[in-house]
Amino acid sequence: MTLQSTSFWDFSSQLYDRDGISQICLQLQTEFGLDVNLLLFCYWAANFDKMPSEPEWNKILEFSKAWKNNIIQPLRNARNSLKSEFVSHSDDPKYTVLRERIKLDELAAEKLQQEFIQSCTTIAESQDSQHFSTAKALSNVSYLFSKLGIKITEEIIKKLETISAKII
């Protein structure tokens, strides 16, 4: 089933929930420090047969770097610390409740990032998606990886193609 959503948030949420996609995204995040929202953006833009312009990319990358460093990562660190460092308190529901609140804040921050990213493009909420282009997605990801200094290996290409296959 092709993803038809025009909202970046809805598209990426649907894609991320598909079998195996979250694991691939988290592996790339862990291995390369990749911002998953930027990876998912590459696929969302390809759903409109779009390659963002250099000025669009620059604005998106500048914002996303600061947002990740100042907002997302501190929330993620706090959430992960509650999970790993306070294991001895795992039977106390207050720690679990706090961890879940932080997780919701982290998701809210990621949604704000995605809304900003979408606002940087010429893709409108009302615009109809085109036929998804795997080639355009890989081109977008290649551009992103080149900007981040990530070398694309055969193993990475297989992961990226798996993501594409889940869209169509």
Sequence ranges of the domains in the chain? 8-122+129-167
* 23 within 8 A of 29, measured Cβ to Cβ: no
Write the DSSP symbol of residue 69.
I
Tens-level pLDDT at each residue, the chain (168 residues):
355 567 899 999 999 999 999 999 999 999 999 999 999 999 999 988 888 999 999 999 999 999 999 999 999 999 988 887 776 776 778 888 999 999 999 999 999 999 999 999 987 655 666 678 899 999 999 999 999 999 999 999 999 999 999 987
Closest CA to 36 of 7, 59, 58, 67: 67
> How much is the pTM?
0.90
